[in-house]
Amino acid sequence: MQRSQGWLKQVLSVGLGLWLAAGCGQAPVDTEEQASRSSPLWGSQARARLSAGGDHSLAVRPDGTVWAAGGNTYGQLGDGTTISRSVPGAVQGLSGVVAVATGYAHSVALRSDGTVWTWGYNYHGQLGDGTTTHRKVPVAVPGLSGVVAVAAGYSHSLALLTDGTVWAWGYNGAGQLGDGTTTHRKVPGVVPGLSGVVTVAAGQYHTLAVRSDGTVWAWGDNANGQLGDGTASTRKVPGVVPGLSGVAAVAAGYAYSLALRSDGTVWAWGYNNSGQLGDGTWTERRLPVAVPGLSGVVAVAAGFGHSLALFPNGTVWSWGANASGQLGDGTTGNRRVPMEVPGLSGVMALAAGQDSSQVVRADGKVWGWGANTSGQLGTGTTSHRTAPVAVPGLSEVTAVAAGYAHSLAVRSDGTVWAWGANTSGQLGDGTTGHRTGPGAVQGLTGVVAVAAGSSHSLALRSDGTVWAWGDNANAQLGDGTTLTRTAPVAVAGLSGVVAVAAGANHSLAVRSDGTVWTWGDNASGQLGNGTYSSRTTPRAVPSLSGVVAVAAGNNHSLAVRSNGSVWAWGANASGQLGDGTTTGRPVPGVVPGLSGGVAVAAGYAHSVALRSDGTVWTWGFNTSGQLGDGTTGNRPVPGAVPGLTGVAAVEAGYAYSVAVSSDSTVWGWGANASGQLGDGTTSHRTLPGAVQGLTGGGIVAAGDAHALALRSDGTVWAWGSNGKGQISDGGPTSSEYVPTLSLLY
């Protein structure tokens, strides 16, 4: 069940995971490779995990799901509706995605199996499904396999196959499909005469491709010289861009083009009315010209009329149109030469929308600026931004808690977010509907800590008051009633509280004077007041003072005093009170032989204590190995968990235990049927084992059969049971056997 430490470790910053996205939606490039090399490398493995379209944006999460924000008139967000969103939401039924691209109002996704999926506007057949029917959820593009990269123009789409051929479909009024005609195409067709292609880009009505020999090929509209062949003649089949070699990547805007050479120089041609070519003029160019002052560039992106460049040091430079602030310099004036976007560092990837810009920083956060009329920046508003702003969500998480099948998180702004089971209103959103994604708890601010019981939740505010919601059949909310609450209510008569804990159906609070207050179910004496009568409001536990931390199990309670002694009371059938007996006790008693205690945790019927020397001690129920001593026999007195030293924090689930080492690795032992040990198996473990692939762990929370870890970078990872969406990984509600990035809404 659930408990709380008597301390709160503050960590900052979270994001969409370290998803290295690149290029605009029209020009996927492999920034993931660039990041680790002194010279850029692109090719058939190109992957664009962030893309910005006309008025919507897409991002691929580490679990392969796609999240979208912005305009949705034609269903381009893929959530089954036509309602615009100013915060990201999951695209329905899509997993295993490795790249995305956005057109004006349609979306394209490439899955790891080489198939392509599309949704949104389809008037010209740009979805490639053989129809002109708009789609509000993704559909497979038939006949395409072995795809390694995708791109999307205003209303046409491209796919690059492993054999180096390019396939195109959709609008073809300017010959941008490259098939020698101007006939629109509702299904993919190969671009004839083009082979050995390693990357593609799509502009408004023109298309670019880079071949393995470093040459650039272009076709489609050329009214402004965007094909770079020295003319203004439209071309319906690919032709080489003269004078360019050693090109590694391309990007295409409204009627202009960019090329990044392997020497890090940037070349531009085409329309230049807003200075988007960056050559210091407003002059249209029909042949490529070097963008002066740029060298060592590792990625480029092109919007409708503005351009972006990424440098190895993580800075971003911008130039061109700026009416909506898309250059990020705090102004709305166009600029015809590149300048650094102020206040932005650590960038790993770029995306340029029609009049907006987005980047992914090394800390995993997405930042955006520019036009935001449809909420495409994902900032929760529709206000334009002339300087970069972080995309909010569950960012800057400072504390987490896990109940039976629900989860809680506290953000640095003091709000509480909840997800998972909600039958009793334990999510605090005013409903009893389950949530697989985080939602705000109603009306709570200034929160510094949370605790989660079986089906109820507690929050401690900075003013020392405690608030509760959810199941209240046993008076565990402490509001003087037994009425279920779907929104927070104040716990009656409590002030000066510094820590809280929640058991299955009872609650604990530590006040600043070191006293412990309890309420709720008391059938086993877990309230510690010498009786077996439940309480609907808090009462002090008599004869207990100097307490610095508490924990609550199913029906027993633990406390650590400032002198390092550990005290226990309540049920004891499995020896969970640690006094050498199996006799329950309705008043606190010291756990003999244990000193130097700094933290405690309580499971269903087992107890865990962390000593100041970094060792972990356990006692009580052990049928699943939750004591971590190599056996499955109950133990009524504390024993050290072998092999564990330097531990900084402990937690306990229903029948398993978790520890965070001082090196920030996380270890687990005990029951594992739902993968709650995070070791990739479902085998119980009687000795500690490392949670796979999780480093930088700072705070952990253990529910009935799921666990959460808050890393030092502010990201939240979860594993174990997910039947009610308590992991919140955006995918199906199936168990996760290794940590999965969570809380990225």
CATH of the domain at 107: 2.130.10.30
Q: Verify that 661 and 722 share a domain, yes or no.
A: yes
Predicted local distance difference test score (pLDDT) of residue 211: 96
State how far the Cα of 173 lies from the Cα of 158, in Å rounded to an integer.
Answer: 16
Number of Cβ within a 10 Å radius of residue 431: 14
Question: Is residue 20 assigned to a domain?
Answer: no
Average pLDDT for 118-147: 96
Task: List the beta bridge partners of residue 200.
Answer: 209
pLDDT for residue 41: 22
Report residue 61's pLDDT band, with 50, 70 and 90 as the boundaries.
confident
Domain shared by 336 and 481, yes or no: no
What pLDDT, on the 0 to 100 scale, is given for residue 5?
27
Report the relative pairing of strands 406-411 and 197-202 from DSSP bridges: unpaired
Which amino acid would we find at residue 451?
Answer: A
Do 425 and 280 share a structural domain? Answer: no
Three-state secondary structure along 110-170? EECCCCEEEEECCCCCCCCCCCCCCEEEEEECCCCCCEEEEEECCCEEEEEECCCCEEEEE
Model pLDDT, residue 732: 63
> According to the model, what pLDDT value does residue 497 have?
93
pLDDT of residue 408: 87
The dihedral built from the CA positions of residue 511, 564, 448 and 739, taken in this order, carries a sign that is: negative
C-alpha closest to that of 331 among 367, 390, 385: 385
Q: Reduce the DSSP state of residue 528 to 3 states and report it.
A: coil
Tell me, rounded to whole angstroms, the distance of Cα 285 from its chain centroid.
42
Q: Are residues 216 and 352 in the same domain?
A: yes
Q: Give, as one character, the DSSP assignment of residue 31.
A: H
What average pLDDT does range 221-245 have in this prediction?
Answer: 97
Q: Which amino acid is residue 85, in one-letter code?
A: R
**Is 296's pLDDT higher than 60?**
yes
One domain, residues 546 and 650: yes
At 731 the pLDDT is 55
Q: Is residue 17 part of a domain?
A: no
Length of the chain: 745
Residues 103 and 206 in one domain: yes
Looking at the domain assignment, is residue 201 inside a domain? Answer: yes
Q: Are residues 377 and 404 in the same domain?
A: no
pLDDT of 729 > 70? The answer is no
pLDDT at 302 over 70: yes
Q: b/e per residue, 337-363, with b = 16+ CB within 10 A?
A: bbeebeebeebbbbbbbbbbbbbbbbb
411 and 289 housed in the same domain? no
pLDDT of residue 169 exceeding 80: yes
Asked if residue 22 belongs to a domain, the reply is no
- CA–CA dist 554, 571 (Å, integer): 9
Percent of the chain whose pLDDT exceeds 70: 89
> What does the pLDDT look like over 612-665, one tens digit per residue?
999 999 999 999 999 999 999 999 999 999 999 999 999 999 999 999 998 888
Is residue 259's pLDDT more than 80?
yes
Higher pLDDT among residues 733 and 586, named by residue: 586
Point out the least confidently predicted range of 271-280, 374-383, 658-667.
374-383
CA separation for the pair 2, 600 (Å, rounded) = 11
Last residue of a domain, which of 368, 390, 412?
Answer: 390
Same domain flag for 426 and 519: yes
CA R_g for the chain: 29
Whether residues 402 and 370 fall in one domain = no
Q: Of 362, 390, 418, at which residue does a domain stop?
A: 390
Least confident of 114-123, 159-168, 224-233, 358-367: 358-367
Q: Quick one: what percent of the chain has pLDDT higher than 90?
A: 68
- How many folded domains does the chain comprise? 2
Between CA 336 and CA 488 the distance in angstroms is 54
Claim to verify: residue 635 and residue 736 sit in the same structural domain: yes
The rounded distance, in Å, linking the Cα atoms of 173 and 573 is: 79
- pLDDT of 458 over the 80 cut: yes
Please calculate the CA angle 389-395-399 and round it to the nearest 5 degrees. 150
pLDDT over 50 (residue 26): no
Torsion region of 191: left, alpha or beta (phi above 0 gives left; psi -120 to 50 gives alpha): beta
Q: What is the pLDDT of residues 444-454, one digit of tens each?
A: 988 989 999 99
List pLDDT tens digits, range 34-44.
222 222 222 22
pTM of the entire predicted model: 0.56
- The helix or strand, by DSSP H or E, that contains position 102, with its residue range, turns out to be strand 97-102
Are 657 and 618 within 8 A, CB to CB?
yes
Q: In which band, very low, low, confident or very high, does the pLDDT at 262 lie, cut at 50, 70 and 90?
A: very high
**What's the whole-number mean pLDDT along residues 538-559?**
95
DSSP symbol at 441 = P
Query: Which is it for the CA torsion 277, 283, 286, 287, positive or negative?
Result: negative
Is 460 inside any structural domain? yes
Query: Residue 310 sits in which domain range?
Result: 31-390
User: pLDDT band at residue 718, thresholds of 50, 70 and 90?
Assistant: confident
Q: Looking at the domain assignment, is residue 242 inside a domain? A: yes
Residue 308, strand partner residues = 301, 318
Q: Which of 359, 390, 421 is the last residue of a domain?
A: 390
**Does the residue 5 lie in any domain?**
no
C-alpha span between 303 and 290 (Å, rounded): 19
In the chain, what are the helix, strand and coil shares in percent, each to the nearest 5? 0, 45, 55
Interior angle at CA 561, CA 560 and CA 565, nearest 5: 75
pLDDT for 685 beyond 90? yes
Q: Is residue 404 part of a domain?
A: yes
* pLDDT in the model for residue 723: 85
User: Minimum mean pLDDT among 95-99, 485-489, 521-525: which range?
Assistant: 95-99
Q: What mean pLDDT is reported for the chain?
A: 87
pLDDT over threshold 50, residue 278: yes
Instruction: Report pLDDT digits (tens) over 384-414.
Output: 889 888 765 444 677 888 888 888 888 877 8
**pLDDT tens digits along 309-364:** 999 999 999 999 999 999 999 999 999 999 999 988 888 888 888 899 988 776 66
When pLDDT is cut at 50, 70 and 90, the band that residue 20 belongs to is: very low
How high is the pLDDT of residue 67?
Answer: 86
- Separation of alpha carbons 269 and 291, rounded Å: 10
Residues 166 and 229 in one domain: yes
Q: Which of 79, 82, 108, 106 is nearest to 93 (CA)?
A: 79
**Location of structure tokens 């000193």:** 595
